[in-house]
Homo-oligomer: A and B are copies of this chain.
Amino acid sequence: MTGVTVPGGPDESPGGPDESVPDASATAPDTSPGRPGTAPRRRGRPSRTESAGTRDRILDAAREEFSERGYDKTSVRGIAKSAGVDSALVHHYFGTKEQVFEAAVEVAFAPVLKGREAVLDAPLEEVGERMTRMILGLWENPVTRAPLLAIVRSAVNNEIAAGVFRRLVAGQLLRRIAGRLDLPDAELRAELAAAQLVGIAMIRYVIKVEPLASADAEQIVERVAPVVQGHLTGR
């Protein structure tokens, strides 16, 4: 099931998503456009190294809790307990449970944002194949697959998690790809292309329907990349 190479993708960060969060802070302001009633987030680098360690420990605990239990069953108290800190400290660093979730998802989502650059840098006629390889590559790699599964499971079952998914996938990825197309219906095109890839992820990696679940990844790229390209630039 391997063999998909992704320029700038997860293959270059064997240590997993923890090591590659180049865009997380740079893109943070874009991810919460105009949400009312949310407490201000503490995203800047803390002034003391000790605080940075605490923040990362909370974030690691949050990722683990959300991955294992899903959004609904995870509590700020549980995250705090797992990180060995008081709940108030979790609120201090991240705000609400939704904001902890978004921060955790952003870390898991970092490889996608990294792969995005390879898609955006491609010649227009190669964007379909690059996008297909990036998404398949992330799902093929167990390190990046686990958090993606957690995001999908949470987003399908919980409206708040779905909102985080919308802001990240639509806002950070699809809208940027659409921006390259220079067509009036670019966003719809990008979403129909994404739908093909989301559906393959669902059938191959989540529900695991054969023969697609065991098909060679390159064979899938061969068949799907032209479809994705067609949605993006066809007619």
Contact with A152, one of B156, B204, B209 (Cβ below 8 angstroms): B156
Say yes or no: A203 contacts B195, CB within 8 Å: yes
Say yes or no: A212 contacts B200, CB within 8 Å: no
Mask for A167-209, Cβ within 8 A of B = 1, else 0? 0011000100000000000011001101111111011101111
* A203 vs B187: C-alpha distance when bound (angstroms): 13
Residue of B with least CB distance to A209? B170
Q: Is A215 an interface residue (CB 8 A)?
A: yes
Copies in the complex: 2
In the complex, how many angstroms separate the beta carbon of A153 from the nearest chain B beta carbon?
5
Main secondary structure of the interface of A (DSSP, over half): helix
Q: Is A157 an interface residue (CB 8 A)?
A: yes
Chain B residues, Cβ within 8 Å of A202 = 156, 195, 198-199, 202
Q: Is A145 an interface residue (CB 8 A)?
A: no
Chain B residues, Cβ within 8 Å of A197 = 199
Chain B residues, Cβ within 8 Å of A156 = 152-153, 156-157, 202, 206-207
Chain B residues, Cβ within 8 Å of A220 = 192
Q: Is A231 an interface residue (CB 8 A)?
A: yes
Chain A residues with CB under 8 Å of chain B are 70, 152-153, 155-157, 162, 165-166, 169-170, 174, 187-188, 191-192, 194-200, 202-204, 206-212, 215, 220, 223-224, 227, 230-231
| Complex A-B: 11 CB contacts under 8 Å | A155-B206, A166-B208, A169-B209, A188-B211, A191-B209, A195-B199, A195-B202, A195-B204, A198-B199, A199-B202, A227-B227
